[in-house]
Amino acid sequence: MHSIHSVQQTVYPLFSYARRTWTVNENSTRGLTRLKRRTRRGTKAGSRVIRKIRSIIRVRKSKNGKSPMGANVNNLVVCEMTAVSKIIRNQKNLAKFYLINCRSVKNKSFAICDFIISNKKDIMAITETWLGSDIDKGVLSELVPDTHAIYHVPRKDRKGGGVALILNKSFQVEQLKSESEFTHMEHIECIIGNKNAKLRVCVVYRPPSSKDNNLSSSNFFEEWLQYLSSQVTSQEELLITGDINFHLDKVTDHMANRFTETLNEFGLKQYVTGPTHIRGHTLDVIICREHNDILRSSPTTCDYFLNTVSCDHRGILCEIEIPKPEKIQKTVSFRRYRDIQFVDMHRDIDLLTDKCSKLDNVTQLVHDFNVDIKNILDKHAPLQSKVVTIRPNTQWYSDELREIKHERQKAERIWHRTKLNVHEQIYKEICYKRNELLARSKVEFYSSKIKESESDAKQIYKLANTLMGSTKDQSLPSHHGDMTELANSFANFFSEKIHMIRCTLTEGNQHGTNPMLADVKFTGNALTEFSAVDSEDLRKIISNSVSKSCDLDAIPTFLFKEHLDHFLPIITTIVNSSLAESKVPSVYKEAIVRPLLKKSNLDKDVLKNYRPVSNLPFLSKVIEKVVAACIEKHLSDNNLHDNLQSAYHSCHSTETALLRVHHDITCALDNNTCAVLVMLDLSAAFDVIDHDILFRRLEFSYGITGSALAWIHSYLSDRSQRIAIGSTSSKAHALDIGVPQGSVLGPKFYCMFSKPVAQICRNHNMDYHCYADDTQIYMVIDSLQSTSTKLAVCLKEIKTWMSSNLLKLNDDKTEMIVFAPKNKKEQFADLTVSFGTSIISDARVVKNLGVVFDKSLTMDNQCKAITRSCYYHIRNIGRIRKYLTTDASKTLVNALVTSRLDYGNALLYGVKKANVASLQMVQNTAARLISKTKRSAHVTPILIELHWLPVEFRSQYKILLFVFKALKGMAPIYLRDLIKPYVPSRSLRSESALLLEIPSVRTKTYGERRFDRSAAILWNSLPMTLRKTDSLPAFKRNLKTFLFKKAFNI
């Protein structure tokens, strides 16, 4: 007796085989997974109830090799069931494609994102996105799931339009650059796939012709033929999709027929049938080659009602014959620091301290410290690794959403089965209800998260950046190899760039000009050694340092600072050993560099668009800060600072530098004279400093000798860097020249290295100001010819000095602007200066340390730039305002908007009332955004509630703050020189009133804006009690109260 066990998966293929030649197609595979039978009529559950086929188990007698029908079993073909299961598996693994004309994704972002996640779409083509290039980052963060990426081309010249592809990140994607500029169609092309299969996907949108856009169908076809000719020659499988805006279903439509003919000419075929527009026409297309193997299923139209105001196009979906991308997985390593038993760890650290105290070699000391600290961490918080799958972020997905999702699916099935309008309407209403619930759930989730983090500004910024789409994901060039190869490419590029600059400079200095010609010999007390630091001073340095970690750190900085009491003895020993031995351990001379795209709109495939961002070990920067304090004391004691160098110097800033330059130019304009400003540009100034010349200058001009100079020599020699991308890094590249980027001492050494430039300017009676490598030279114009000659001679000597010191000065990037009163505007318009191989001509505007200067110094362009930038950020905050609490909104507005209104606002004192009004409107808009009030609402009560000073009074506040600092010795010397206490000609009571002398001026336009005059007038208007305040915090507090009452008449 034989037992025969028949189940659904085996019975069905055999049943099909008995009737016809055995083939497995789409219908049969669908049947294998969905085969069910109806019960007989009259059952209690109803005639439409469907149940699965039960397994049949029976016992029968053997038929001696005969089938139940009497056939010889030996003549039957054995059906390979593994083939069926394989085909089923492959069918499920096909990539899912969807096309939709959205008519703006901005009001459908939540629904589209949920649609991609719920329906597991791998490729989504969108036409009419209505997105901008950069301003809609917040929309993109709502639109694109974490597992996908968007590739977008916006419309350039007017609103609307735009095409995009949203692709699964597991695909290898290469966005292609357009070879031609088309005016009658918008398009984007990407090559997607994997090692085994590649597909070129092109999304095209043809705007309909109208009187407003002056587009014609004949011009479109010229561009269309050119476009197709470039696409059909591609080696990859081809899929062209989008909205063509021709009625392809109308046989009598001439343009539609012409479009079809062009496809036939190129061996292409349009596969969409049936209406794709709500008015019953076929406008959207999926085009492939005639004999294609890419479409696995015929395109079908559907509508998922992504918004209450539905699109006027239906979506098109199909399956594509490329493997569905696997889910992205990555290996993460972590330690469970919260599980550490700190008492036991402290005991091990103390034992390490005892061990290291017996070592007298700093290199061995640092090596043992790093090894033992790593062993201690491995003991108390072992390094663990796990593989995680990247999934969409759906923390806000609620049970209510899941329930309504099931309702929607049920309604969709009923509608597709009955095709009744009433069922379509039910389905549509459930879709709208789900979309509204989707948006509300996300808002409620993030609102609660932000409310929980109100006391943590860092967490608020993090959540806000996520919502606004300002995440700090590392942009990288397109690559198909491993990350190590890309990292090595970056490392080679950065090294070769510096090497080429150095070779050019060396060739240009073949005459061997003495680099020390402009130096002045130091005659004071030399700095021969760096003093040892005690534990308490070192504690202050470490505590005040930013808690940033480097991949090279033996222990995370936050953990190190939390247990500083136990680490302090050994760190003090390391620092003092380094100073005593004049040696920097090699592990502290390696940098980890990550390439950062300079601007988001730059081509990410061009390596020169990236800047290297260096990161050094935390303890190396601690040692640098100790040395920097010693050098700073030596410079201050011997008056070696360049007073007009405002970078990396306490009490100095870009604002103080701008204030002095602005004051000098307004003085010239007030005296009815003209002034010229030249702004020098250097290439990679920090990276090409010659070490030998630096050592000579430190000894000759600054008196740094002995073990102190030996330590600096050790610090700069044998340095290296590695380029890191993710968890992989390049080979180490030696740094033979330059000062380390991201270091404490590097910028200080550059300022000391470039000090002779100031002496050259003084020798030529030129005014100048420096901020690191940004040097500006200015002077009052005597006559056209003499000014041009003086500038040319001065610039020539600076260029010669730069060449002899192996610094690269860019002639063609140096800018010049002539400032003139209105009555002399044309007098010096033709001023040019010969500079190297270039002729510098007068510019209309220049950007100086972030502030725009125009020829008449009206600051109109600066006010426009501030307004534009502020409204950009107000719009971004406005998009996420629904998530934010009032306090969180204040925090973001202050960081992104108010900070821009305040930067350089001392220069805006006395500008046109129209400019002040435009800036005040920005502040009013920001206030209404925080308070959620309408535009028509009166803004004064809101400003009072927020306790905000109006824009005009913020400018006064900044000037008065500089005056107070200047009087108390907390401002740069170049500002203190402009503040002169009032001394009456004879003894009066006003002598003790702490008043300032008000200089006389010629004009109101310029004279009233001079810093020395505006500062004196505003200071003298303060109450006596305020002028006598000694504490800076108290002065700030009382000054704001005084100006606030004055502004609102309180």
The pLDDT of 892-900, averaged and rounded, is 92
Best mean pLDDT range from 307-316, 458-467, 580-589? 580-589
Read off the tokens for 22.
Answer: 């055995």
Return d(Cα 594, Cα 616) in angstroms, integer: 12
Q: Is residue 990 within 8 Å of 984, Cβ to Cβ?
A: yes
Q: Identify the residue with better confidence: 461 or 818.
A: 818
Return d(Cα 208, Cα 215) in angstroms, integer: 8
pLDDT in tens, 351-403: 888 887 778 789 999 999 999 999 999 999 998 888 887 777 677 778 888 88
Neighbours of 735 (CB within 10 A): 22
pLDDT of residue 796: 92
Q: Can you tell me which residue has the tokens 């950069």?
A: 134
pTM of this structure: 0.81
Read off the tokens for 115.
Answer: 């649609």
Read off the tokens for 25.
Answer: 């197609």
pLDDT of residue 967: 95
SS3 92: helix
Read off the tokens for 714.
Answer: 């050790």
The pLDDT of 501-505, averaged and rounded, is 87
Return d(Cα 421, Cα 730) in angstroms, integer: 63
* High-pLDDT (> 90) share of the chain, %: 52
Amino acid residing at 95: A
Backbone angles phi, psi at 448, to 5 degrees: -70, -40
**Residue 463 clears pLDDT 90, i.e. is over it:** no
SS3 149: strand
CB < 8 Å & 24+ apart, contacts of 798-803: 798/680, 798/757, 798/760, 798/761, 799/835, 799/836, 800/513, 801/515, 801/517, 801/518, 801/756, 801/757, 801/760, 802/682, 803/505, 803/508, 803/509, 803/513
- What is the total residue count of the chain? 1050
Q: Can you tell me which residue has the tokens 């136990």?
A: 566
**Residue 84 clears pLDDT 70, i.e. is over it:** no
Best mean pLDDT range from 54-63, 299-308, 605-614? 605-614
Which residues, at least 6 apart from 573, have a Cβ–Cβ distance to it below 8 Å?
356, 357, 365
Enclosing H/E stretch for 217: helix 217-231
pLDDT of residue 195: 66
Which residues, at least 6 apart from 256, have a Cβ–Cβ distance to it below 8 Å?
246, 247, 248, 249, 250
**Residue 243 clears pLDDT 90, i.e. is over it:** yes
pLDDT in tens, 2-19: 444 444 444 444 444 444
Using CA atoms, how far residue 51 sits from 36, 37, 47, 243, 611, in Å, is 6, 6, 11, 43, 65
Beta strand 719-725 with 590-597: parallel, antiparallel or unpaired?
A: parallel
The pLDDT of 244-265, averaged and rounded, is 92
* High-pLDDT (> 70) share of the chain, %: 88
Of 1006, 867, 893, 876, give the one whose Cα is nearest residue 946.
893
**How large is the angle between the packed helices 399-418 and 421-452, nearest 10 degrees?**
160
The pLDDT of 985-1009, averaged and rounded, is 83
Backbone angles phi, psi at 417, to 5 degrees: -80, -40
Q: Can you tell me which residue has the tokens 């050119």?
A: 226
297: DSSP letter: S
**Residue 1046 clears pLDDT 70, i.e. is over it:** yes
> What pLDDT band is residue 330 in, cutting at 50, 70 and 90?
confident
The pLDDT of 941-966, averaged and rounded, is 96
> In sequence order, what are the beta bridge partners of 192?
173, 199
SS3 572: helix
Lowest mean pLDDT among 432-436, 689-693, 745-749, 915-919: 432-436
Q: Can you tell me which residue has the tokens 């103080």?
A: 656
Q: Is residue 1010 within 8 Å of 857, Cβ to Cβ?
A: no
Q: Identify the residue with better confidence: 294 or 133.
A: 294
Q: Can you tell me which residue has the tokens 């593989």?
A: 387
**Residue 23 clears pLDDT 90, i.e. is over it:** no
SS3 123: strand
Return d(Cα 993, Cα 983) in angstroms, integer: 10
pLDDT in tens, 193-213: 776 778 999 999 999 887 777
What secondary structure does DSSP assign to 14-78, as a single string?
Answer: HHHHHHS-----HHHHHHHHH--EEPPTT-TT-TT-EEPPPPEEEEE---SSB-TTS-BGGGSPP
Return d(Cα 804, Cα 517) in angstroms, integer: 10
pLDDT of residue 656: 97
Return d(Cα 345, Cα 373) in angstroms, integer: 10
pLDDT of residue 476: 82
| Average confidence score pLDDT of the chain | 86
**Residue 1006 clears pLDDT 70, i.e. is over it:** yes
**Residue 83 clears pLDDT 50, i.e. is over it:** no
Q: What's the distance, Cα to Cα, between the start and end of the chain in Å?
A: 106
The pLDDT of 168-175, averaged and rounded, is 87
Return d(Cα 108, Cα 306) in angstroms, integer: 6
The pLDDT of 22-31, averaged and rounded, is 45
Of 188, 102, 114, give the one whose Cα is nearest residue 144.
114
Neighbours of 274 (CB within 10 A): 12
**Residue 41 clears pLDDT 50, i.e. is over it:** no
pLDDT in tens, 609-632: 899 999 999 999 999 999 999 999
Q: Is residue 1043 within 8 Å of 956, Cβ to Cβ?
A: yes
**Residue 283 clears pLDDT 70, i.e. is over it:** yes
